[in-house]
Structure formats: C-alpha cells, structure tokens
Amino acid sequence: MIFSEFLACCEIIRVDDTLMVMIFKDTECLLFDMDGVILDNTYDNNFWQNQIPSVLAKKRQISFEDAKRLAIQIFNYKKNSKDWYDLDYWSNMLDIDIEKQKKAKESYEKIRLYEGSISCLEKLKGKMKMILITNAHRKTLNIKLQKYDLSPYFDEMVCAHELHYVKEDVQLWYMLRSRYRIDFKKTVLIEDTIKNIYMGLSAGISKAIYLGNENFTSSNKILSMSSINDVPSAFNQS
C-alpha cells in the first residue's frame, strides 16, 4: 500500500498539538486479543513459572529450582505450538490436573483486568462487529470469564485451539476469516504480540493496533499504542 492509498482510508489529527492519532475509517470488525490486551499476564505467568513447578516439585520430590528448570525445558519444547495452549495435553504430560490448578484460589485471584479495559469495550460495543480471538484453551477462557464476564461485549469469542491452529500460524487467520465470514479489508486486529500481527496482516487483515512492550514504531498498517485506554480514539469514539 502506497502512502496516498493509506491516507484514503485513514485520517490524521493532532491532539495536544504534538500527538498524532490515526482515525480508522470504514472499519466493520475488530479482532481483540485477550491476554496482554484486556487482561494482564500475571495469572498465566505465575501459573506456569511458579505454581506448576511448585506442584511438580512436591509430586516428584525434587527442589523447586530443579522442578522449574525441568518445567522450562518441557514447556520450551512446545512453545507457540497448538499443544502449548492445550490444558488436556499438559495434564497428561505432567500427570497434574491443570484445570483444577488453574481454578485454585491462589491462582484465580491473580486474574486481573488492565485498567480501562471495560471502558474501552463499552465505548466500542455496537459500533462495529467485535470478536475475541485468543490462543487460550476454552477451559482457560471459561475460568477467566467466571471472574470477568466479557461475553456481553463480543459477537463471538473464539479459541484458536478449536480452529486447530495458533495465532502464530497464518492458517489460523485464513480459518477465522472463512469460519466467521469476516471482511479482512475492513478489519482491525488489536494485539500485544508482533508475530501474531504479522501473521494476521499477511492473511489480509487491513490494519492492526499494537499494545505490546516491544520497542515498535508505528507504520502505515500498524499503530502502536501504550494503553487499551487509547484504542477508542483510533475510531473517533470519545
């Protein structure tokens, strides 16, 4: 896309005389990631980095440090694969009831919303089609929804696992487009993982909003924002 074509579908306005905010026009669908965008990653990070190694240490009668090293070795082997997000796979692999551990009070209490998440969703709801697309297993999604019911804000809540791919695989995006009949030319992806954004764009998604921590400069297809609080401004929703 050349710059003149880009300007045809976007406007640029000045905020506080210095900040340039991109206003996406003609957007019909928003694809929202969940973890790292709406919910922070405290729950998942603590679960896999601390809680499961602790359970593994007791089960195998080894030190926590040894259990953590073992867990990291096992997890890295499956990272970014379909199995990585599959609770049933890890229950069988580790001989631990992963779903039960995820529901445990000490874990459940760590599920947290980013400040401004609900306000953002409320501002955008009804303005366009809203789809949640997450790599999280359906069992994990359901646990999180028990604490924060996000379902009223979305037309669909999709687990990549059920489409047999992960978001790091371009085939997932083709499957998503076909299954839910999404016009990618009028779709914006909101993500915290650059690789997932690139996969979505390569499948034909028009533009993306990046909310991650990597040092990233906005381009003609990807707008970098520091907070979910800023997202409605991209669609001229005050």
Check whether 21 has a pLDDT greater than 60.
no
Check whether 238 has a pLDDT greater than 80.
no
Distance CA 145, CA 113 (A): 11
Distance CA 104, CA 146 (A): 13
Confidence at residue 216, expressed as pLDDT on a 0 to 100 scale: 65
Which residue ranges form the domains of the chain, and what is each CATH number?
A: 25-40+114-235 (3.40.50.1000), 42-108 (no CATH)
* Torsion sign over Cα 43, 201, 115, 18: positive
Residue type, 214: E
Confidence at residue 37, expressed as pLDDT on a 0 to 100 scale: 96
Average pLDDT estimate for 178-203: 95
Distance CA 109, CA 179 (A): 34
Average pLDDT estimate for 157-178: 95
Average pLDDT estimate for 193-220: 86
DSSP 8-state code for residue 195 = H
Check whether 12 has a pLDDT greater than 60.
no
The angle, 0 to 180 degrees and rounded to 10, between the axes of the packed helices 170-180 and 194-202 is 60
Q: Could you identify the residue written with the tokens 């300007």?
A: 7
Determine contact, residues 104/25, Cβ cutoff 8 Å.
no
Confidence at residue 19, expressed as pLDDT on a 0 to 100 scale: 36
Check whether 8 has a pLDDT greater than 50.
no
* Number of helical H runs and strand E runs in the chain: 11, 8
pLDDT in tens, 62-118: 999 999 999 998 888 887 788 888 999 999 999 999 999 999 998 999 999 999 999
Check whether 16 has a pLDDT greater than 80.
no
What is the band of 6 on the pLDDT scale with cuts at 50, 70, 90? very low
Check whether 55 has a pLDDT greater than 90.
yes
User: Which has the minimum average pLDDT: 64-78, 112-126, 172-186, 213-227?
Assistant: 213-227
Share of the chain above pLDDT 90, in %: 71
